[in-house]
Amino acid sequence: MTARGETRGRLLRTAAELFQRQGYHGTGLNQVLADSRAPKGSLYFHFPGGKEELAAEAVTLSGRELGEVFAGLMEAAPDARTALATVGEHFARSLEDSAFQKGCPVATVALEAAAESEPIRAACDAVYAAWQSVFATALRGWGVREERADSFADTVLSSLQGAVLLARIRRDVSVIHRTARDLGDLIDGRSPSPV
């Protein structure tokens, strides 16, 4: 990787971390530059669209990486209950390891900026669509009917996102574990199921 590529990568990773912890409005470009140790003019060189472009690309990067984690967890698990418990544990560990500072890398930005920025909204939408696809594919593999897999993947995704938000606010990850367990039970047929 060239020095330019390394600088761009540091800016992106630093921004992704700060946006996840502090949100879009709580993160300033001077902080991104200072924390990434990037030269002052490098931000607009690499991201001529400024903070908005940086945020959209940071969400895309974080979302792609987390989507790859989800896909790996889904593929490795023998059943829905195990897979969703593992996904829940991933979110819970991230929250606890950060002293409840790091929520979902997409939701934190989406809640603040998606309504006012089309590039950020589009980036968040693309990430959520990719995650939904990972969950829908896994659901089909676990026996969820084809016509229900996409809508139930939305239920899984929105339930987990809501659980992460509640856990961050409550500073208690038990809601994540309960939600993941309940979703796994629904899919595995251990409770009345919409699937």
Is the whole-model pTM more than 0.85? yes
Can you tell me whether residue 79 is helix, strand or coil? Answer: coil
Ordered per-residue pLDDT tens for the chain, 195 residues: 556 679 999 999 999 999 999 999 999 999 999 999 999 889 999 999 999 999 999 999 999 999 999 999 999 999 889 999 999 999 999 999 999 999 899 999 999 999 999 999 999 999 999 999 999 999 999 889 999 999 999 999 999 999 999 999 999 999 999 999 999 998 877 544 444
Q: Which of 70, 74, 110 is nearest to 94 (CA)?
A: 70
The arrangement of secondary structure in 55-188, i.e. its CATH architecture, is Orthogonal Bundle (1.10)
- CA 178 to chain CA centroid, Å, is 19
**Domain segments of the chain as ranges:** 55-188
Q: Which of 44, 48, 58 is nearest to 113 (CA)?
A: 58
